[in-house]
Structure 1
């Protein structure tokens, strides 16, 4: 399976935004999340909108950036708002903007119904694979090697735990806080992708 990224102005600009506001390890995480999501779409026979999924992957953690962090909202909700504004600037119609925000918010849900929200399902599963190793065995080994070579993990564990620890300390009812309480650090350390 070969990694193919969608093109077009929205995808290019989403990558530019993620590059400007994300640490290198989080930018690479976003790129890997799209790759894993596209692969899982094939594995689970879930059709998806490549542009919508790619933009969501690039912006799904934008709410962790200090420039967009909300003192009151969970990072995924703040990120959904930023993505809505981004999509408005890209000329997307209101319904598509709302879908983008919804996909980003749902990426932190424990379960997303693929029939109801294919992009949300794939983004959630792919982010969980990259962060905690969920469903990594579903990803073709050749693709894993290619993606990890092109977008290495760098200091993802340390950077992600720092961001989530900060979110948890300030927003104890957030999904980030719940993840920290559920031993995210151990799950990240045991992620098979860390061994590649």
Structure 2
């Protein structure tokens, strides 16, 4: 499997979401967002999961926007802040209120322990793919040829160090958030042991 085998949407909303991510994310977080979409689309293809490619791509590009200084919230968890940014972005893109809400849900749910695929395929795929890319969960399911191509084109750079620092900061400032729970459960160690950083 390689990138040409995957659904890579090219719509005005997708191009704009990439532009927003490129403007506000560090290079490491931008590459992470791209890989999150690719790992999700690959998993969907391997397991015959139907999904809305535009919705998933926009959500992947914006799922960590709440970690950036410009959109960080001191009152809500970063995934909720990101969901609100996505809702506003999608309103500007002309999406229906229902579709805007779906983007919000997908981003919030990417932090859940599990999202049932039958209830929310895009949420399921983003939760799975971000877990692969950050904590190394189920990375053995990524086809080797795709993994090599994607890591060469969108390298990991400093994502392990940068994300560990971001989630630790979120957990310290918002201890009741899911990020706070992740910190207490040892996410820093899981990030450091991610097999993708040894590829």
2:40 equivalent to 1:37: yes
1:25 aligns with 2:28: yes
Deviation at 1:162, TM superposition (A): 1.2
Partners of 2:48 and 2:192 in 1: CA distance: 30
TM-score, scaled relative to structure 2:
0.97
Q: How far did residue 123 of structure 1 move? A: 0.2
2-side partners of 1:116 and 1:161: how far apart? 30
Determine the structure 2 residue equivalent to 1:120.
Answer: 123
Which among 135, 158, 167 is matched to residue 132 of structure 1? Answer: 135
Inter-partner Cα distance in structure 2 for 1:135 and 1:40: 11
Partner of residue 171, structure 2: 168
- CA deviation string 1:139-194 (max 9, x = no partner): 10000001100100000011101111111111000111111111111111111101
Q: Deviation string for 1:109-138 (max 9, x for gaps)?
A: 001000000000000000000001111111
Gaps of 5+ in 2: none
User: Runs ≥4 in structure 1, deviation > 4 angstroms?
Assistant: none
Q: Secondary structure at the match of 2:30?
A: helix
Question: Using the alignment, how far apart are the partners of 1:44 and 1:94 within structure 2?
Answer: 30
Q: CA deviation at 1:43?
A: 2.3
- Considering only aligned residues, what root-mean-square deviation do their CA atoms show, in Å? 0.8
Contact between 1:43 and 1:138, CA under 8 Å: does it hold in 2? no
What's the offset of the Cα at 1:94?
Answer: 0.4
Match of 1:182 in 2: 185
Task: Report the CA distance between 1:46 and its aligned residue.
Answer: 1.3
SS at structure 2 position matched to 1:48: coil
* Alpha-carbon distance in structure 2 between the residues aligned to 1:138 and 1:43: 9
The aligned counterpart of 1:146 is 149
**With structure 1 as the length reference, what TM-score do the two structures score?**
0.98
Equivalences, count: 196
Q: Which runs of 5+ in 1 are unaligned?
A: none
